Structure 1
Amino acid sequence: MTESRGLVLIVEDERHISDVQRLYLVREGFGVHVEADGTAGLAAARRMRPVAIVLDIGLPGVDGITFCRALREAGDWTPVLLVTARDEEADRILGLELGADDYLTKPFSPRELVARVKTVLRRAAGPPGGAAPQRVGRLSLDPAARTVHCDGEPVDLTATEFNLLAHLLRHLGQVLTRDRLLAEVWGYAGYRDTRMVDVFVSQLRAKLGDASPIRTVRGVGYRATAPGA
């Protein structure tokens, strides 16, 4: 019997969609639990501690944005994959700013859903190997413990935020394009929506304040710099 990859919580009020999502995730070895409204979904997330959450934004009860905010405010950093309609860009960006790790826009292939779930789980686990801790200015980052401290105080980051910061610091002083960051941090080569990078950089800057080492290279991308560089 194949060992389970862990439990994925699907919160989706359209039964025909959640049935297909469940089918494809189960085929890939995941356990799956489905809830059809946000209130029950939030309770299930707290009770079951899934490895990932596939979360529709337009839910009855607690909507997906409120759901995501409640998780993060409670210190729950379970990877969240938002599912949105085409006309929900503002909500999609807000969801990313509140700590969602990725999103899919309806309609989408169930195979893509499975691939995205696997990708957010890989990002949450971090890169293999034993990279050394880094200190840049007032920040210290420990890849093994997946922790970031600023002036000795811990900074709460999502898995994707941590990976983005770690990647920029590993390439200290180098200019990294948005396309390259999407490929190397998110694993999405040729992905069209580079705005996702900007959202996560903005979120990192908000959390790190004036200790942030991330600089914008206009028209190109971003780089991390040491103090005085």
Structure 2
Amino acid sequence: AYLNKIRPDMKLTERNPYMKSRMDQEKVCEDAADENFSTCVLELPYIFGTQPGRKPVWTVLIEQIQGMDKLPFTLYPKGGTAMLTCRQVGQVIAGAAENKAGKTGFEAIPIGMYNMTWPEFLDIVFAARGMAGRKIVTVAPWMMRMGMGKIVKDYKNRGIESGMDPMQLPDIMDYNLFIDKKYCLELGVEEDDIKAAITDSIKVSQAAFEGKVKLLEMKGE
């Protein structure tokens, strides 16, 4: 939702059902607010940390990059993202609830405590996988798009409607989607060890990908 607001020129809701659904959800919350009732949407970025017994979403990343492990380098976009830890998500939720107490109206707050480029993030990922110092080669959107055609064809053959437009994803991942942590600090969020949280997430994701542990899937059971 945050990217859609700061980059209206990308027309994200027109091409990405997932982003449209997020904006629709936000509108529902906004419409529910009035002079007697307050609502708040926390625009959360990537979250790191583990939930006992549940498969992390980062198994998808492991699946994406392991195919390049035999190469002398890994190809990846040069953009970046905001992030925070599971502990900090709890803090920001509590802070937002306390902040809205006694207030009315609607508020959407962009959330993020740390900003990393994808290469910086992958340095931590590969260290967690026992491949510290792995060379990362960044690619331009047009190069990434060349490899997305196969995915588009696969989705079509399987009758899958993707939540994200595979042909616009390269442009999104090329962008540094960074968020000022001042919003989190105002809600009482404290510093945490993001590197340790990423490392824990990746180690569990790698074990799940290799079938070494049995975990609940990301979808609801």
TM-score, reference length from structure 1: 0.25
TM-score, reference length from structure 2: 0.25
**CA radius of gyration, larger in:** 2
**Comparing both structures, which one devotes a greater share of its residues to strand?**
1
**Comparing both structures, which one devotes a greater share of its residues to helix?**
2
